[in-house]
Structure formats: C-alpha cells, structure tokens
Structure 1
Amino acid sequence: MENSKSLAGLIGPTLLAVGTTEAFNMDIFAAQTAPVVYLNGTLLFVAGLAIVRAHNVWSPSWRVLVTALGWLTLAAGLFRMVAPTAPQAGEGLATYLLLAVLTGIGGLLTYMAYRPSRTATQPQAHP
C-alpha cells in the first residue's frame, strides 16, 4: 500500500498539472516536430515502464489506477516513438474531455496519496 501511495503522490499532481496546463496551451501542440514527439514518447515510455516495474498490482481498489496508468503511459510512449510524424491531438471536444478525465484521475490519486491514514488507534465509524 505504501508503494501505491508513493506513486500516486507523484502521478496525481503530475496529471493535475499536465491536464490543466495542456488545456490552456493547446495551440503549441499543433506545431510539434517529429524529434520533439519522439523525445516525449521516450520519456513517457520510461516513466510508464518504471511504474509498471514498481507497481503491477491488479486489485479491485483505487490502486489499480496506478498500474493502469503505468501501462497506458508505456503504450502511449511506444506509439509516439514508433510514429512520431502521426497527427497529434488537436483542439476539440474529445481532447478536452480526455484532459478533463486525466485531471480528474490526477485529483483522485492526489487525494488517495495525501489523505490522512487511519491507524489502529483511531476509532472507525460504524453506521
């Protein structure tokens, strides 16, 4: 669980920052060159691989988001490395929805990482 919280503490704020700043700077992505896309893909691939190697947990809890994001990041990075000249996501509803979903997941992971932990000495509420 500690590994999940540590990774969520990195991934969550990163997704909040990326989702928000990309939405405000959409115009700069239209003119990206293939080398920049390839470099971005390499960084995404390494980040995704690091997450998957450190956290390949498939349990029915919020922790599965960390693993799923690791695999999705790895796949997105590999795609950008294989096809750096492919058209990039443009300004449109689908792109903004994707950024909103990523920002929402970032918020959830940030909350899960930084919320106070319940310990054995704290009483748990019973309905």
Structure 2
Amino acid sequence: MELSIFIARTLGVVYLTVGIGLFLFREVYILALRKILDSPGYALLGGFMAIVGGMAMVNYHNYWVNDWRVIITIIGWIALIKGILILLFPLYFDWFKKLLLVRIGKGLTIVIVAVGLFFTYLGFLN
C-alpha cells in the first residue's frame, strides 16, 4: 500500500498543478503544447518518457484489485501503450494532436483538477 500512496501523492500533485495552471494560464499551456506537438523530437521524447513511466507503474504497481489502486494500474498501462505507439508510429499522431488541441477546454481542465483532487485525497488524507 505504501507504493500506491506514493504514486497517488505524485499523481495528485502533478494533476492538480497542471489543472490549476490550465485554469490560470490556458493560453500559455496551449501555445506550449502546440510547440511540443509540432516538434518530432519532443514527440519522441514524450513517447520515451511515457514508456519509462508506464513500465515503472506496470512493473511495480500492476494491481488488478477491486479498489482505487486499479486506477493507477490502468494509468500505467495507458502510458505504456501510448509511449509504444508514439515511438512506433510517430507520423500517424496528427489526428491525436488535433483532438488534444481542440479538447483542451474547460471540461478537460475540470477533469484534470478532479483527478488531481482524487489522488491527493487518497495519497495525503486517506
């Protein structure tokens, strides 16, 4: 359970920080995201980072249980699969770029903050 708490704390701080940053400085985030998505080097680096983070979670936190810890496992698998796909097919993610830039509205920001609050609660207050 200690590992689950550590990951929940980390994810909580990351998601809350990004979510609040999106609320306060949406234009800056969108501009930075466009520059990142338009650079093949950054896309490959992001894929590499997703594989490393996903593999860490899959290897050390692969808990298919009937409680909140399974969410961490699912996030790890999603990160791993996303990273593999980005590195295998870097030119085929134009549709993903367009979707991400269109969907980075207030709804997505609210979801990011909610996920951050959820993990922060589980990591620090539970």
Asked whether the two chains share a fold, i.e. TM above 0.5, the reply is yes
- Picking from 104, 111, 124, the partner of 1:95 is 104
Consecutive unaligned residues in structure 2, runs of 5 or more: none
Choose 1 or 2 for highest CA Rg: 1
Runs of 4+ in 1 over 6 A off after TM superposition: none
Quick check: 1:53 aligned with 2:59? yes
CA distance in 2, matches of 1:67, 1:49: 10
Aligned equivalent of 1:111: 121
Q: TM-score, normalised by structure 1?
A: 0.77
Q: TM-score, normalised by structure 2?
A: 0.77
The one-character-per-residue Cα deviations of 1:13-61 (angstroms, maximum 9, x if unpaired) are 1122234445721122223211111101101110011011111111111
Aligned equivalent of 1:5: 5
Structure 1 counterpart of 2:47, one-letter code? G
Maintained 8 Å contact 1:26/1:90 = no
Aligned equivalent of 1:14: 14
Maintained 8 Å contact 1:8/1:113 = yes
Quick check: 1:84 aligned with 2:90? yes
Shift in alpha-carbon separation, 1:29–1:61, aligned structure 2, 3 A: same
- What's the RMSD between the two structures over aligned residues? 2.1
